Amino acid sequence: MSRIRRLDPAVADQIAAGEVVERPASAVKELTENAIDAGAHAIRVLVPAPDRRHLIVEDDGVGMDRDDVLLSVERHATSKLARLADLDQLGTLGFRGEALAAIGSVSRLAVSSRPPSADTGYQVVVDHGLRVSAGPVARQPGTRVECRDLFRDVPARLKALPAAPAEWMAIWQVVAGQAAAHPQIGWTLAEEAGGAPAFATRPGSTLADVLLAWLGPDAAAQLIPVERTALAGDVSVSGFILPPDLARGNRRQQVLAINGRVVRNFSLRAAVEQGYGSLLPERRYPGCWLQISIPAPQVDPNAHPAKAEVRLERERAVAGVVHQAVQDALRRQHAFPLQAASADGAVESASPLRAAEQAAWDWPSAASGASPAPLHREIADLVPLSQWQARYLLCQGAAGLYLIDQHAAHERVYYDRFKQSAAQAVPVQPLLVPLVLNLSRTEAQLLATHGEVLAASGFELEPLGGSSAALRAVPAPLMDVADVSLVQTLFDSLLAGGAYGEHPVSWALDHQLATAACKAAVKANRPMTRPEMERLLADMAESPSPRSCPHGRPTLLVLSLEEVDRRFGRR
């Protein structure tokens, strides 16, 4: 029986469709989505040609019978959606019925498939939109889609393609990202059948298994679990993040999946990154693999031609949950491998979190006040023994022997202090010659709605009509850096919804404060007396995040008694 129907043209048009395949990696994305939708247990992606324009995606899913194979390559033919209203309850990744048709119109496409119940399979071959052949084939249950000579007759696309190694990287990223979103499926990515896979996981894996394949054992051992359900159980976030010191210069180690769909979403991404706060050095991006589940009606997957961007109904609230989840995970994670158990439970079971979840609806930052007492007590209880190399403090404490980087620790103390004073009112430097800015539509709207917030923080931005505005005054401490990019940062943080923690304006200040703290802090090679050390430890214990300096480097290391005993062969 045929499952595929032609979409009613009216419905087809309503679903705004754009260019689906713009490069080989996006074809891989579409084809793997189809395999996932087909309920596959194992999906194999082969990319044989060195130019990455020959792709094969094979699955062991429900397959298609003769009629479906023939229909599958037609435009607006889908088994997944009949009415627009159904979009609200969509359980599949595909819904437009145009991926196969689109790929078939720019390549030589062979689709062969066999439902498990049928005895033979059926294959159709389409070359640049024209059917070349169709007929029965022998094959095992499941579907195989092969696409060759992608963009052969589309010189414009062909010219714009990234270099083959970059494309291979992008394909790797797509497959690994899908695996992180659907770890239970077994994934293989290889350059040739039977060749060593570039990425492989087994069916029935967990996200942790997938990340072991992704990162290798060393980094995988450092993964920090993230788990949070909020907003009356509507929204849940689960997955892993990497500690700040493993942050990278790019965002390749980031996967956000909403209801199984790998997406790009500025607010959510910013929520994760802001969750690290000052633990992250500038322009370093943390590793994160988060699966977010949201009731289907609150997600609109139809916002982007490649379905990579989704529209969320309560984006700010969801971003708030993600932010909180990341922050909690980082706090819970003890600086030291041992002794973590006791610290763990304490934070999680606290009941004020429920209230915080309520607050997340309006201004999801409210919860960030609670501080992880155990770590602070631990630092406050440290007894300085001596200074080593005029650089590190040796201290004795609950978890063993502590090494504290005096400069990093002091830097943290100053940073917090500066940050506090920066939160107080600052004088405003009016500009003799206003800086005229060209704003985007969104920015102009932000200015209209947030003009007062900005003015209250010392930025006087006056709309000049159209898309321009004049910056007439800036907070005096920011005068040296008052240029277009500062205003950009400001808008970016406003755009992100102010969903987390501090005031948007203080983000713009962060870098400045960190630099000032670095200058003010005691340097290495500076002998310290015992009272000085005690004072530093006491100040550290007051810091909201004493474990790292504002540039993201750790402030302390610990050597446990067990470790020392073990090394001396006492255990």
Partner 1 sequence: MRFVADQAQLARALQQVTRIVSPQNTLPALAGVRIEVREAGDADGHGTVRLAATDLTSEITVDVLASGVEPGGIILPAGPLTDLVGRVPTAEVRVEADSAVHRATVAYGRNRTTLQGFAVQEMPQFPVREEEPAVFDLAPGALARLARQTVFATAHDESRPVLKGTSVHVADGKLVMVGTDGTRLSHAWVAVPDYRGPALDFVLPQRALAEAARLAGSESTQLSRAGNQLEIRTASGTLVTLLLEGRFPDYKRVLPEQYLSHIRANTDMLRGAVERVNLIAHRDRAGSIRLSYSGGALEIQSEAVDVGQAYELVEVEGEGQAMELSFSPHILLDGIKSLETEKMALDLSGPEMPARLAEVEGSSYFHIVLPLRQMV
CA distances from 281 to 253, 334, 388, 513 (A): 16, 20, 26, 13
What is the DSSP code (8-state) at residue 545?
S
Helix then strand then coil, % of the chain, to nearest 5: 40, 25, 35
CB of 79 or CB of 368, closer to ligand ADP = 79
Residue placing its CB nearer to partner 1 in the complex, 38 or 474? 474
Choice from 429, 506, 532, 534 touching partner 1 (CB under 8 A): 429
Q: Contact between 479 and partner 1 (CB under 8 A)?
A: yes
Residue 87 or residue 521: which is nearer to ligand ADP going by CB? 87
Residue 72 makes contact with ligand ADP by CB under 6 A: yes
For residue 214, give both structure tokens. Answer: 């992704």
Span interacting with ligand ADP, options 93-101, 147-155, 201-209, 373-381, rule CB under 6 A: 93-101
**What is the C-alpha separation between 561 and 466, in angstroms, rounded?**
67
The end-to-end CA distance of the chain, in Å, is: 68
3-state secondary structure at position 2: coil
Residue 121 to residue 140: CA distance in whole angstroms: 8
| Residue (94 or 244) nearer to Mg ion, CB | 94
Burial of 37 (0-12, 13-18, 19+ CB in 10 A): buried
The nearest distance, CB 167 to ligand ADP, in angstroms, is 21
Nearest residue (CB) to partner 1, 113 versus 278: 278
Q: How far apart are CA 163 and CA 173, in angstroms?
A: 15
Distance of closest approach, residue 102 Cβ to ligand ADP, in angstroms: 7
Contact between 422 and partner 1 by CB under 8 A: the answer reads yes
Q: Which is nearer to Mg ion, 177 or 501 (CB)?
A: 177
- Residue from 243, 364, 384, 458 in contact with partner 1 (CB under 8 A): 458
| Torsion sign across C-alpha atoms 148, 154, 157, 163 | positive
Q: Find the shortest distance in angstroms from Cβ 423 to partner 1.
A: 11
Is 94 one of the binding residues for Mg ion (CB under 5 A)?
yes
Q: Does residue number 349 form part of the binding site for partner 1 (CB under 8 A)? A: no
Q: Which of 7, 28, 47, 77 binds ligand ADP (CB under 6 A)?
A: 77
Please tell me whether residue 95 binds ligand ADP under the rule CB under 6 A: yes
Instruction: Report the residue from 196, 432, 452, 569 that binds partner 1 according to the rule CB under 8 A.
Output: 432
Determine contact, residues 328/228, Cβ cutoff 8 Å.
yes
**Considering only residues 217, 424, 441, 569, which one is a binding residue for partner 1 as defined by CB under 8 A?**
424
- Binding pattern to Mg ion, positions 14-53, x when CB under 5 A? --------------------x-------------------
Identified binder of ligand ADP from the candidate list 12, 47, 64, 513, rule CB under 6 A: 64
Q: Rule CB under 8 A: is residue 430 a binding residue for partner 1?
A: yes
452 is an interface residue for partner 1 by CB under 8 A: no
Q: Cα separations (Å) of 317 from 265, 336, 492?
A: 14, 32, 18
Closest C-alpha to 25, from 188, 183, 172, 197: 172
Q: How many beta carbons lie within 10 A of that of residue 117, not counting itself?
A: 9
Q: Is the dihedral of CA 267, 273, 277, 278 positive or negative?
A: negative
Q: Which does 96 bind (CB under 5 to 8 A by kind): partner 1, ligand ADP, Mg ion, none?
A: ligand ADP
Contact status: 79 vs ligand ADP (CB under 6 A):
yes
Residues 6+ apart with CB under 8 A from 519: none
Q: Tell me which of 7, 57, 81, 99 binds Mg ion, using CB under 5 A.
A: 99
Question: What does the block give as tokens for 452?
Answer: 């007062």
How many angstroms separate the Cα of 442 from the Cα of each of 318, 332, 386?
A: 21, 37, 56
Does 448 bind partner 1 (CB under 8 A)? Our answer is no
Please write down the long-range contacts of 97-101, taking CB distance under 8 Å and 24 or more positions apart: 97/4, 97/7, 97/12, 98/17, 98/20, 99/20, 99/21, 99/30, 99/31, 99/33, 99/34, 100/30, 100/34, 100/72, 100/73, 100/145, 101/73, 101/74, 101/75, 101/76, 101/77
Radius of gyration over every alpha carbon of the chain, rounded to an integer in angstroms: 28
**Interaction between residue 257 and ligand ADP (CB under 6 A):** no
One of 215, 413, 473, 528 touching partner 1 (CB under 8 A): 473
Interface positions with ligand ADP (CB under 6 A): 4, 30, 34-35, 38, 59, 61-64, 72, 77-80, 94-101, 143
Residues within the interface to partner 1 (CB under 8 A): 418, 421-422, 424-435, 456, 458, 473, 475-477, 479, 481-485, 512-513, 516
Provide the binding-site residues for Mg ion, judged by CB under 5 A. 34, 94, 99
